[in-house]
Structure 1
Amino acid sequence: MSVHSSSSRLSSALALTLFSLLAAPQAVAGDALRPPVESQKDWLQLKSNELLRGEIKALYDDELEFDSDELDTVMIDWDDIKLLQSAGIVSIGFTDLSTRTGKLLIEDGRSYLDGVEFNPAEIMTIIAGDQEEANYWSGKISLGANIRSGNTDQIDYSARAKTTRRTTESRFNADYLGNYTKNDGESTVNNHRVNSNFDWFISKQFYLRPIFAELYKDPFLNIDYKATVGAGVGYNLIDSKKTEWSVSGGPAYTYTRFDQVETGARESDGSSSLVLETVYDTELTSSVDFTTKYQLQYSSEEAGGYSHHAIASLAVELTDIFDLDLSFVWDHTGKPQAGANGIMPDKNDYQFIIGFGVDL
């Protein structure tokens, strides 16, 4: 074998080995993964070193909503975040109830807003946009229906809807619950309830409720409509990333117009009242949420006396958008008013509702 031939083969082997090393994928240490400093997108890095590119939506209750370019909307526990970098302006609500805006960078336990360092433990909320634009809407609609035909023609319909608008300092809620049943052409159930309130936080736990309102209609309870308007205060007994428990209440004015009355009886009644409410919401598992709400009201006997509205719900996540909703509702009226026929409505109404919900 010639020296030239041996040298040629050795050179070819070295070249092939060098090409293989350059072409093979190289492992990158997790600590070396960093988003670009100048970027048109927000970046999020988990403690597992996974990187997500997208858009910061909002941080509430130690849970960040992030719209990923690849994974769509994801909810991330605040404790799982290693790095968060905003491309644009965000508004941050702090535990002292102040609000500041700017470009945010959180990295390795340190936080910066427009390059100025601050304590990350003071962050309470984050919303994309400046203070004038920083509001976040969320909502859910749940529908249930049962249609029968044959020996009995019956339609059962139920609907629940909820919308919430949040800023770094305030919260607005609006809820609707309605049920309708028609049996052989005759309506047997027809009730509707709308609740709304506005809260202004003066600390992380304590908030003022400048106004709350409710409109209720149930002709089978002899209520053409019942309107309540009031103001009060509220307090968060528990406010963690998995559980919220709040109590609220205050004085109100209640006006009731009856659907039918006996001869000589008053068609309507207005009186002062007291409204108390508690809401408990907890995450039983990663895909099952439990919520219960209990609202009681004291008003004049002509307006119904003591009454309460209680609802307990389980929401089972089927997909990122769709839920299976199971709800039990109990309405009680201490002093129902008799109709024109002299028949006294029952004091208690119970409902079990099965519906499919859509997160908006």
Structure 2
Amino acid sequence: MRLFCNYFLPSKKLTALTLLPLAYNAQLLANDTPPAASTFVPVKITAPVGNDFDWLQLTSLEILKGDIKTLYDDKLEFDSDELGVLVIDWDDVKILQSKGIVSVGFTDLTTKTGRLQVQNGKSYLDGVEFDPQHIMTLIAGEPTEANYWSSKISLGANFRQGNTDQIDYSAQAKVTRRTTESRFNADYLGNYTKTDGENTVNNHRINGHFDWFLSKQFYLRPVFAEYYKDPFLNIGSKITLGSGVGYNLIDTSKTELSISAGPAYTYTRFDQHEVGSSNTEGSGTFVLDTAFDTELSKSVDFNAQYRIQYGNQQSGGYSHHAMATFEVELTDMFDLDLSFVWDRTNNPRANADGTVPNANDYQFIVGFSIDM
């Protein structure tokens, strides 16, 4: 389950807000007639039966009762009383009304709390009308630290015994902390293979960055960092630390494309080195990072990342990390992930015996993941 929340302004004393009665929902389902303007004016009436639930009606006129979870990237998570957690495009929401307080993050990076009512292009928070197009995030209740975080873990393994004894495993993990004003991401990708008792693959990559949004599109990246290890590429450890800026080129309910760039410093410790050469190298670098995410269908997502790094020749010169993944939804919590990874170091450092590692590494990873 993905949970996001926002920093918020101190809430004012709440006023009474009329929730649409269940009988009204049934009438709307029958004739789909928009209510009169006076319907939206908060008045004190007896709460309808079933006021223990949030109510959702889709543009298809289907009505659901349950609990609002979160809205982010124009995706509403709604925990249906009968169907479980559903992820719904914001464009498919006709009516949404909360039973209690929700926290709404707006595109101007402010946050307000109150009872929410959305209907036919109009929105009200504690009876005050606002444009629903200005909603960026939404979560039920008051913000707590736990609601800022989400995570995903994907694991894949292959065990073979007979003429060849082989063990393969791969692991991917992602942790995100998201508020209206900021975003923190950390990713891990690791692969290990042992064939007939000999280690043949052993690489690990950890990336992290922190973004501070100045607008919905433009953000500062005060710090980003990467740790990489691959003895078979003669890299004992490679650490990159830098800062930069970024911009969201596309930000719709189905597709996101962002780009960021900035200067950095890279320190590399080589696993082996020839006689007379140093086993470490430091270099100023420039990093360009792009991320793409799109919804191909209701159950299939595609995302890709391409990171380019330019350093001096002694530290490897030009290098890149490219990864493309198809995420196939199996259940509300479990996905099948199909990933292709291409790593390249343009000028790999020679081993102690003078042999030069291959500049390219390719991987195809099949894993099962869980969202938390």
Q: What is the TM-score of this pair, normalised by structure 2?
A: 0.84
Could you tell me how far 1:30 is from its partner in structure 2?
3.2
Deviates more, 1:336-345 or 1:121-130: 121-130
Residues 29, 62 of structure 2: 8 Å contact kept: no
Question: What is the aligned residue count?
Answer: 334
Alignment of 1:327 with 2:339, yes or no, is yes
Could you tell me how far 1:109 is from its partner in structure 2?
2.5
Give the aligned partner of residue 318 of structure 1. 330
Residues 92, 168 of structure 1: 8 Å contact kept: no
Alignment of 1:195 with 2:193, yes or no, is no
Give the aligned partner of residue 46 of structure 1. 58
Give the aligned partner of residue 80 of structure 1. 92
Could you tell me how far 1:154 is from its partner in structure 2?
0.6
Separation in 2 of the partners of 1:28 and 1:253? 62
- Per-residue CA deviations over 1:102-143 (Å, capped at 9, x if unaligned) read 222223322111222222221122133435658433222221
Separation in 1 of the partners of 2:48 and 2:220? 43
Residues 211, 221 of structure 2: 8 Å contact kept: yes
Give the aligned partner of residue 291 of structure 1. 303
- Per-residue CA deviations over 1:184-204 (Å, capped at 9, x if unaligned) read 111000000011111121111
Separation in 1 of the partners of 2:287 and 2:339? 23
Could you tell me how far 1:231 is from its partner in structure 2?
1.0
Give the aligned partner of residue 29 of structure 1. 27
Could you tell me how far 1:322 is from its partner in structure 2?
2.1
Separation in 1 of the partners of 2:280 and 2:140? 48
Deviates more, 1:67-76 or 1:306-315: 67-76
**Identical counterparts, % of pairs:** 67
Separation in 2 of the partners of 1:265 and 1:233? 36
Map 1:98-177 onto structure 2 (within 5 A): 98-130=110-142, 133=145, 135-177=147-189
Separation in 1 of the partners of 2:319 and 2:248? 24
Give the aligned partner of residue 252 of structure 2. 240
Greater relative contact order structure (CA < 8 Å, 6+ sep): 2
Separation in 2 of the partners of 1:140 and 1:201? 23
Give the aligned partner of residue 92 of structure 1. 104
Residues 334, 368 of structure 2: 8 Å contact kept: yes
2:370 is paired with a residue of what secondary structure?
strand
Give the aligned partner of residue 57 of structure 1. 69
Q: Read off the aligned partner of 1:201 and give its amino acid letter.
A: F
Q: 2:317 aligns with which of 296, 305, 308?
A: 305
Residues 104, 139 of structure 2: 8 Å contact kept: yes
Separation in 1 of the partners of 2:146 and 2:93? 22
Deviates more, 1:51-60 or 1:34-43: 34-43
Q: What is the TM-score of this pair, normalised by structure 1?
A: 0.87
User: Which aligned runs of 4 or more in structure 1 are off by greater than 4 angstroms?
Assistant: 31-35, 131-134
Could you tell me how far 1:87 is from its partner in structure 2?
2.8
Separation in 2 of the partners of 1:231 and 1:39? 49
Give the aligned partner of residue 16 of structure 1. none
Give the aligned partner of residue 360 of structure 2. 348
Q: 2:285 aligns with which of 273, 279, 290?
A: 273
Could you tell me how far 1:247 is from its partner in structure 2?
0.7
* Structure 1 vs Structure 2 CA RMSD: 2.2
- Per-residue CA deviations over 1:240-298 (Å, capped at 9, x if unaligned) read 11111111111111111111112221121122111101111111122211111110001
Separation in 2 of the partners of 1:129 and 1:172? 22
Could you tell me how far 1:302 is from its partner in structure 2?
1.7
Residues 158, 179 of structure 1: 8 Å contact kept: yes
Q: Read off the aligned partner of 1:218 and give its amino acid letter.
A: D
Residues 91, 134 of structure 1: 8 Å contact kept: no
Residues 113, 125 of structure 2: 8 Å contact kept: yes
Residues 127, 136 of structure 1: 8 Å contact kept: no
Separation in 2 of the partners of 1:96 and 1:181? 49
Residues 241, 264 of structure 2: 8 Å contact kept: yes
Q: Read off the aligned partner of 1:275 and give its amino acid letter.
A: V
Residues 173, 187 of structure 2: 8 Å contact kept: yes
Separation in 2 of the partners of 1:150 and 1:340? 34
Separation in 1 of the partners of 2:235 and 2:100? 52
Could you tell me how far 1:91 is from its partner in structure 2?
2.0
